[in-house]
Structure 1
């Protein structure tokens, strides 16, 4: 009987452990940790500073939301090309780093309400003779692989006139190749390039026309409406109590958050 009781205890414990480990994460509760997938080279939204610490608008924004939700956060740098796969596999809980809302992505993930406006623009060197989109005809254009920059360029008639579209793992590499002349221009988020232009005055200029307006949102795994609802409630509270405005002023010098 003792052996039978011991076996029952072992089996019960194993079942409990398996259930706890294999169950999908629902609405985040007090003390729970959310893993947020980011591109750690996407300044000023999420990037590494001189001390190699992950900082940025989205980093502060996520921390503030987590505090209101009663959870902790861990920022996990990921290959941005596999962001939806990382989310749907459960390796991360949220995609939160300048993540553009598109109809195609809505088929793969749940989105919060938009929290920031952006646009895809074209940047070149300050001394370049390129000034408008038509000037890209016959040129080499760089962009981040599987980003909304690619979608915006493909949707514009100029795409068919471009000589070559070179894809990069991140915007930092694309801008580096622009500076050494390997590409003639780069399609990039307006929020991102304006940050770099403020840090490297006289290096870059934007073409007169932008490609497409867009909005950022936070991506949640489909089926996890409970987490989405709790996160959205926290973001709404941040809009009402001034937290969002304070974070925006810190990073952009103005209130850019959508209310």
Structure 2
């Protein structure tokens, strides 16, 4: 009886052990990780005034060219970004940027304390002056001679800000007329509807050099300023990428080479 009980106990134990045994998984190898999705191409949409030679304008083939166009293309390539150029109403540039219709303002944008309230700027990449262009035969020789005269400037430009900073001179004008772009202002200067135009030096000297018989540049100006690229304040990573790319371009001479092509000298800051 004890022998039978012992055999029964052994059989029961074996049965329980068999029932409790965990079967191995069909495959113990870890599941293969899914292939990574292709990285999305990050596009940098650059807002610009497409009638602002030599910084950004359309050539005879209607293609966008210019100093800032070349600088932006090279910087975007180094930063691993695809770049798209989007002409905008320059007087509404901050609204275009904050509304995310463009990612950067890159077209001779002057760094000012007022703009810094709403825009993040890269390090300056060039210096500029607000020069005074008059007809070649004009009797205007100084800022004091602008008293009682009709003066033109581009609407929303730093030229307007620079003029208004010098209140005594500004208040002496007969009128300050603003235009959609500098080309229109210079055309009115040529036809006699204006007596002077205040304009970015890079633009003014570009036109004066093309038609020196029509224009003259006064020795006095409305101050020195610096150009930078403007971005949204929250786009800190993008700002760092562009700053890094532009710094590398300065260090290896690429920026100077681009400047030589457009201005005949290195104007990079």
Specify the TM-score bucket, using the shorter chain as the normaliser.
0.7 to 0.9
Partner of 1:183: 194
Pick the aligned partner of 1:145 from 138, 155, 164.
Answer: 155
Pick the aligned partner of 1:123 from 118, 124, 133.
Answer: 133
DSSP-derived class of the 1:98 partner: coil
Task: State the shift of 1:218 in Å.
Answer: 0.1
Q: Any stretches of 5+ residues in structure 2 without a counterpart?
A: 1-38
Mapped partners of 2:74, 2:182: distance in 1: 26
Partner of 2:9: none
Mapped partners of 2:213, 2:73: distance in 1: 34
When Rg is computed on C-alpha atoms for both structures, the one with the higher figure is 2
Task: State the shift of 1:146 in Å.
Answer: 1.3
Mapped partners of 1:50, 1:203: distance in 2: 23
Pick the aligned partner of 2:47 from 15, 37, 40.
Answer: 37
Q: Contact 1:139/1:162 (CA < 8 Å) preserved in 2?
A: yes
Mapped partners of 1:242, 1:158: distance in 2: 41
DSSP-derived class of the 2:219 partner: coil
Q: Contact 1:30/1:69 (CA < 8 Å) preserved in 2?
A: no
Pair 1:160-2:202 in alignment: no
TM-score (normalised: structure 1): 0.87
Task: State the shift of 1:63 in Å.
Answer: 0.3
Pair 1:240-2:251 in alignment: yes
Mapped partners of 1:135, 1:231: distance in 2: 43
Q: Contact 1:35/1:75 (CA < 8 Å) preserved in 2?
A: yes
Task: State the shift of 1:222 in Å.
Answer: 1.3
Task: State the shift of 1:31 in Å.
Answer: 2.6
Task: State the shift of 1:80 in Å.
Answer: 0.4
Partner of 1:209: 220
Mapped partners of 1:60, 1:89: distance in 2: 25
Task: State the shift of 1:43 in Å.
Answer: 0.6
Q: Contact 1:220/1:228 (CA < 8 Å) preserved in 2?
A: yes
Mapped partners of 1:219, 1:211: distance in 2: 22
Partner of 2:95: 85
Task: State the shift of 1:208 in Å.
Answer: 2.1
> In 2 relative to 1, CA 212–30 (structure 1 residues): closer, same or farther, beyond 3 Å?
farther
Task: State the shift of 1:158 in Å.
Answer: 0.6
Partner of 2:121: 111
DSSP-derived class of the 2:192 partner: coil
Task: State the shift of 1:30 in Å.
Answer: 7.1
Mapped partners of 2:154, 2:246: distance in 1: 28
Mapped partners of 1:153, 1:175: distance in 2: 17
Over the residues paired in the alignment, what is the CA RMSD in angstroms? Answer: 1.0
Pick the aligned partner of 1:223 from 205, 228, 234.
Answer: 234
